Structures are given as C-alpha cells and as structure tokens.
Amino acid sequence: MRLDGKVAIITGGASGIGRTTVHKFVREGAKVLVADIDRARAEQVVAEVEQAGFPGAAAATGVDVSVFADVEAMVAKAVEVFGAVHVIFNNAGIAGGVPLLEHDPETDYERIVRVDQNGVYYGIVAAGRQMARQGTGGVIISTSSVYGEQAAELSFTYSAAKAAVISFTRSAAYELAEHGIRAVAITPGRVATPIINQFSDELKATFAAEQLRGKLTEPEEIADVVAFLASDESRVINGTVVSVDDGYSVFKQRLELPVF
C-alpha cells in the first residue's frame, strides 16, 4: 500500500473527485480527514469508508476553505485525530460564470476567488506550516484546471483563479523545498462529477468529444493519479503541473478529413 502511514486532508471530500480520492487513499493505507463545507455529507463518506472495511481510517470535519481560521482548524483537527499531516489535497472548488460584461463582481468574481483561489492559498499555508513543524516533509496537491491554462466559455474568474493555483504551486515548491515539502498541481479536463452530470446528454456528449478517448474522465481515474502524486514513488515530481485531461489541451476537435 503506497500511502501506508500517511495522514491526508482532502478538501471537497464529500463529493466528486474528492470523495473518490478519499476511498482511494484509504485503500492505499492512508488515514484521511474528509473536509467539506457540508459536514453531514462528509460524515456519510466516513460511514462509507467504515462500511468498506476500513474502520478508523477516516474522520470528518466541516470547513469553509474561504476562511483561513476554518482551514487552520481543519489542519489542527487532522493532527488531533491522526497525529500529523503528511498530505493535503486542496480540491474544494466551485464553478459557474456569466459573460464578463454581465458580471456582478460579488457573485461572479469575489465568490469564486474566495473559494477557488484563496482556499488553495490557505490550504498551502496552513498545511505547509504544520508539515514544517513536524519536520517530516509532505506533499501539497492542488486542483487547478485546463481552464487555468487557456481561455474558455463563461470562465473569466474561474480561469484566473485556477491559473493562480498553478502559480501558487510553483512558488510553494520553491519556498518549501528546504522543508522536504513538495507541491504539485493537477489540471483535470472534462470529469464526470456532479457538476457535469447535471447537464443534458447532448452537452455531455460534446464535452466527451473534446477528449482523445471520446469519453468523460471518471473521478476514479483522477484519484489514481493523485494517489501516485501523494506517494513517495513520485518524489521527483515537484513544482509542476500534471495534466489529467485525456488530451483535452492538445487538440481542438476532430474533423472529417477532406478527400483529395
């Protein structure tokens, strides 16, 4: 089990990629603090872990990642329950957007920045401080997006926040290396999470066609990569962006080839 002996915090751990990664980490031997703004749903994930045959491997806490005091309390909770923090997966995020000229700055800019940008910054600082105090090193993994590297529809603020996550990762890797702490970002493409699954079959088919396999990525496929990045097997991956987009960023769309 590649994560045996590790203690991890997973934000946004009650659904989607976060929930799936909780289960993956536990199967790989980690102890996991499931952190989510919806405490009740986080508790449900802990119950799932126990029903799967891993009693005591997970605990739940409520957190609003846009509030630094909440994030500090989350890190303290992991230490209280499991004794240390070796990994944090800054995964909590929100989506949504309207055309730029129709923005309400509070709703369409500040709200998204608070969660998707500030929340990652707070996680890096709070967990990084704990890892440095422990003297055991650690891994900070943060969810960016393909939108963090390119422009896209209705994503002015979301793209900016996800680009900041990439910058945070590079700078954190540079500054925290002396403490044995690695920082890595992932950039998912079209993943079959509740955010995407709420759309029509037609729109989901369009999303699927944007990736090279012609299908949506499953959350489990992202979790597999995150578990690898959290493990010592990825010890030389640091300060980089790992694309988990099934080729989304390497082509526009498939076209019928002309006959010459």
Catalytic residues, by residue number, are 158
Joined tokens for residue 114? 């608070």
Is residue 200 within 8 A of residue 155, CB to CB? The reply is no
Of the candidates 27, 15, 16, the residue with the CA atom closest to the CA atom of residue 230: 27
Number of C-alpha atoms within 13 angstroms, CB side, residue 65? Answer: 33
Q: How far apart are CA 224 and CA 9, in angstroms?
A: 16
Q: Burial of 258 by CB count in 10 Å (0-12 exposed, 13-18 middle, 19+ buried)? A: exposed
19 sits in which H/E element: helix 16-27
